[in-house]
Amino acid sequence: MKRIGVFTSGGDSPGMNACIRAVVRTAIYNGVEVIGINRGYNGIVDNDFIELKSHSVANILQKGGTILKSARSKSFFTEEGRKSAFENISQAGIEGIIAIGGDGTFTGAHIFNQEYNIPFIGIPGTIDNDLYGTDETIGYDTALNTVVDCVDKIRDTASSHNRLFFVEVMGKDAGFIALRSGIGVGAEAILVPETKTYINKLIAKLEAGRRKSKTSGIVIVAEGDNAGGAYEIARKVKEKFNFYDTRVSVLGHLQRGGKPSARDRVLASQLGFSAVENLIAGETNKMVGMENNKVVLTPFEKAIKYNKELNPNLLKLVEVLSI
């Protein structure tokens, strides 16, 4: 293998640049040229390629976002789009591709591999940490620290004004950010998609805290919670429990940005390095991940199909520590 491509796709996450850097320099170390593909699958369809040298990735380790840009491509998920993509890859002499992203990214790679036999290795880059086959995804740790920093500030004003804050964090289908950040900030309650939310039970919990002289409260809400987003849940609670001045804060895309944490920089570097080594060695259609501090390979089918479960011990921990 003499030339490989690399791209980032889907939602951006802190540490993607560190991963690109590791991919480029590992490939060059092994005598392999690297072609950067801009804007994910859109870039393959549109032939938006750029050659990456070692100096091309200098001074990006600490930067959030992605220098290769990212997008969600509709054209690639058509037969015509994938045919155009294959022609562009063939013309560019790209023999294998490193895809950094989430389950949508790996779904596209799996389909493309099945149709055109282009070798792919995936790297899990998503703040949601919802991919099977890795303990953590690139960007998750930074997003957690961002949430904790923001909610610590919200807690200050909540305590000053006897306020109950409902803070919405990202997590449309998974509550990993909500659960760990909620524990980290000492939230009174954490609402996640994996467990059903009962408004009356939540109100009873808040009322118990009020009787114990709690003068403020924080409820962390994952955006995909079954009872609705933070605004809807706050409205339902306020109808029956209006002891506190109730406010809502939606952190939104704030969680995607910022300098990656040291943990994410190291993880991104390890996975970028391993992805290139495995691609050169002939592996394909697999995701590299980190489990128990060891790099592991998971077939795309499993990484996409299986859901990673929340740690039940952490859910129990929330109940105990929030009394």
Distances (CA, A) of 94 to 5, 44, 273: 6, 11, 18
* Spatial distance between the Cα atoms of 184 and 181, rounded to a whole number of angstroms: 5
Same fold, 3-139+260-305 and 140-256: yes
Whole-structure pTM value: 0.93
- pLDDT at 89 (0 to 100): 96
- pLDDT at 207 (0 to 100): 87
CATH architecture under which domain 140-256 falls: 3-Layer(aba) Sandwich (3.40)
Q: Where are the domains of the chain?
A: 3-139+260-305, 140-256
- pLDDT at 151 (0 to 100): 95
Kindly report the number of other CB atoms within 10 A of residue 311's CB atom. Answer: 12
Q: What is the CATH number of domain 3-139+260-305?
A: 3.40.50.450
Told to judge if 128 belongs to the known catalytic residues of this protein, a careful annotator would answer yes
The tens digit of pLDDT for each residue in 227-252 reads 989 999 999 999 888 888 889 999 99
The tokens for 120 are 């792919």
- Burial pattern 278-294, b for ≥16 Cβ within 10 A else e, equals bbbeebbbbbbbbeeee
Tell me if residue 296 falls in helix, strand or coil.
Answer: strand
From 128, 130, 141, 225, active-site residue: 128
- pLDDT at 186 (0 to 100): 93
* Spatial distance between the Cα atoms of 139 and 144, rounded to a whole number of angstroms: 9
The residue with greater pLDDT, 241 or 94, is: 94
Q: Of 255, 291, 286, 284, nearest to 270 (Cα)?
A: 291
Q: In what order do the strands lie in the sheet with 286-291?
A: 49-52, 33-37, 3-8, 96-101, 120-124, 286-291, 294-299
Kindly report the number of other CB atoms within 10 A of residue 196's CB atom. Answer: 11
